[in-house]
């Protein structure tokens, strides 16, 4: 996309099916993004370069997804003043708990906002990025407020359907 404001990094191409959730959310809100496979362990120079150059290219938020040892978000946070959102990915012997623990245990001074494991976390990473970006974008803020209102309406509709079904 042209003029991306969000950079999505993932440690492996096998993470793409999960991180497509993030891409869908960003697209829904009209947020331009770019996505790369870049590993903290297997391609540290590339990861460092993408991270260090991000702000100068107009990136405002970085979303880093990784599984197992999950060092990607912490490595990224060490290289940039931009906000970093971490998405722990399932798999491995601990089904993503290892990635979650690695991401939420950043040392003081190295903030990383960590989402839930897997697709729900990937979706929420996109939504958190939208919330951050909407602080300086009133149109995006309006879309986000409408999104939340629609969710509440959907819950109410489902409850009304449940109540009607139980009365019959």
CATH number of the structural domain spanning residue 48: 3.40.50.1970
**Same-domain check for residues 120 and 157:** no
CA distance 119 to 87: 9
**Same-domain check for residues 91 and 107:** yes
CA distance 70 to 140: 31
Q: Which residues are annotated as a binding site?
A: 12, 15, 42
pLDDT in tens, 73-126: 999 999 999 999 999 999 888 999 999 999 999 999 999 999 999 999 999 999
Q: Which residues are annotated as a binding site for substrate?
A: 12, 15, 42
What tokens appear for 67 in the block? 């599984």
Q: Indicate whether 36 belongs to any domain.
A: yes
**Same-domain check for residues 61 and 45:** yes
**Same-domain check for residues 131 and 144:** no
Kindly state the percentage of the chain with pLDDT values over 70. 99
Average pLDDT, the chain: 95
pLDDT in tens, 133-149: 999 999 999 999 999 99
Question: What's the domain range around 25?
Answer: 6-136
Q: Is the pLDDT at 2 greater than 80, yes or no?
A: no
Is this structure's pTM higher than 0.75?
A: yes
**Same-domain check for residues 91 and 152:** no
In the chain, how many domains are there?
A: 2
**Same-domain check for residues 118 and 153:** no
**Same-domain check for residues 19 and 77:** yes
pLDDT at 69: 84
Q: Indicate whether 1 belongs to any domain.
A: no
pLDDT at 34: 98
């Amino acid at each position: 996309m042209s003029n991306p404001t969000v950079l999505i990094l993932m440690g492996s191409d096998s993470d793409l099916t999960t991180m497509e959730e993030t891409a869908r959310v960003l697209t829904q809100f009209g947020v331009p993004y770019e996505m790369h496979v870049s590993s903290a362990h297997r391609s540290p120079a590339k990861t460092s370069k993408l991270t260090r150059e991000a702000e100068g290219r107009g990136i405002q938020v970085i979303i880093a997804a990784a599984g197992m040892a999950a060092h990607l978000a912490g490595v990224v946070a060490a290289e940039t003043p931009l906000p970093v959102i971490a998405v722990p990915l399932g798999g491995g012997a601990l089904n993503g708990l290892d990635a979650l623990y690695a991401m939420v245990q950043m040392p003081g001074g190295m903030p990383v906002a960590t989402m839930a494991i897997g697709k729900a976390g990937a979706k929420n990473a996109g939504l958190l990025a939208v919330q951050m970006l909407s602080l300086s974008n009133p149109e995006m803020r309006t879309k986000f407020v409408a999104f939340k209102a629609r969710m509440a309406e959907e819950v109410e509709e489902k409850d009304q359907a449940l109540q009607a079904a139980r009365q019959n």
